[in-house]
Structure 1
Amino acid sequence: MHLPQFIDYLQYEKKYSLHTVNAYQKDISDFSHFVQETFNENNISACNYSMIRSWVVSLVTAGISNRSINRKISSLKTFYKFLLHTKQIEVSPLLKHKSLKVSKKVQLPFSTKEVEEVMANFNAEGFSGLRDQLIIELFYATGMRRAELINLKLNNINTEASQIKILGKRNKERIVPLLPSIKKTMSLYLRERNLLELIQDNEYLLLTNKGSKLYDTFVYRLVNTYFSRVSTKLKRSPHIIRHSFATHLLNEGADLNSVKELLGHSSLASTQVYTHNSIKELSKVYANYHPRNKIK
């Protein structure tokens, strides 16, 4: 079994996050268990595509979505590519595999009105109130991911230069400007934070009331709570604020490359998923300014 070496490769060479590494490990372990139980095969490097296809069938039968199955197969593909690269196999059993079809999910961003209503209704008093406001404002003003916000440290903030350093996926750093409004909220929050002896020595910027580092569920619930008051959208998450950040910038005429850098994407292809929400705005521009449209 070559899993330990593969995990080291993901952690130290690819520099994937712990969450991502754990997901890969679980997917491969699940497949390993399946082939042991079904085919009495203890070495997954010796598996063939027929075995993998049987696993896919079992996942479909169990009601696992095509999207989730594709993610699991993607983990296997990466594993077999690693085995190829390290010359432990000669051909990947997934060489000719085609992903299962999935329906495209259109994630609706919050409207500018919804965001403005949330911003206008903060009860920003005391440590927790100012912290909540700063979390929402940081999400919308920087487009950062939930994990990036949770891991923000005090030394990532440079108020004099009006900049914030964000540590993104694969430990890739990017610098994002800080708006004056954010600096004001941050200053008020830090003043309250410094009054609490329990959390003075914590290196992380945003903390719970008990002085602990934030965690995923805490941040998700906070965002959902605030936006449920102004929005009827089914999904109200930190990622939707990130989605809104990108969409609103593009709607206002921001350059796609600039939005890419702000989001911390490695390629334009990742950023382009946000452009479909800007088609309505682009259509207005087209209708108003294209010369041929003015001909009656």
Structure 2
Amino acid sequence: MTDANSEPAAVAPLLGAADIRRLAEEIGVRPTKTLGQNFVIDGNTIRRIVSAAGVDPEETVLEVGPGLGSLTLGLLDAAKQVVAVEIDPVLAAKLPETVRAWRPDAADDFHLVLSDAMKVTDLPVQPTALVANLPYNVAVPVVLHLLEHFPGLRHGLVMVQDEVADRLAATPGSKIYGVPSVKAAWYGHMRKAGVIGMNVFWPAPKIHSGLVAFTRQEAHNTHATREQVFAVIDAAFAQRRKTLRAALAGWAGSAAEAERCLVAAGVDPTARGEVLDIGAFIRIAEARHPQAA
């Protein structure tokens, strides 16, 4: 316990706008739209993200797209270890140097993987949390890929395009409820955790970013596979204006078979996919693929 007369603990410095631009200049990097690079230049925003993520001091955090290290340093202050996946070899080469310069005591707790996050299926340490500022154009596929291949990810927080954040967290009946919403719900509970303005990035994007927090839930008690359930989801939303009986006809082989599966699952054949929760999609898949005796 701290003595009443003692000095408060110093807050570790984080990268600011001048630091980010200097580091980028040192390695000749200009943020590219292709890779969705928008670097956070505000320390308070980093602290807000780390706090909202609820990282435990004993956790290993997975960060995707660390860039120049803005969020990385904040995560190293909060977690036991950080493993970062970076696709850009120039940025990846600089990051360990930045960590050693800014967090020398945590350098051994930092692990870097040079790879496309969509191709990563193994890591040097197993993460329990995902915290990342994700490129807008690949945010949903990356989140779903990581949740599929790293079951140890119990919770996390990702920063994505605000519209995407709303879609991931949408619930049945909403106009924006769709494929990302349902597939994310297969893994756990998603919720909107805040909005981030444009001026805390370099370069500043033209749209706001949204924070999405997730908590993994227990595996569903079903004999249907993830692939089977996701096939139903894709078919239901491919023609979302159609009734499920019509939309699932191709998936089931005929409209009559689609109706049989829907009735067996306790779903109204005249309903549309946007009103079904993940449990309903699971029951439809089970009806089409009955458990072997």
Tell me which interval the TM-score lies in, with the shorter structure as reference length.
under 0.3
Give 1 or 2 for the bigger CA radius of gyration: 1
TM-score by length of 2: 0.24
Taking CA–CA contacts closer than 8 Å with sequence separation of 6 or more, which of the two structures ends up with the larger relative contact order? 1
TM-score by length of 1: 0.24
Q: Specify which structure has the higher proportion of helix.
A: 1
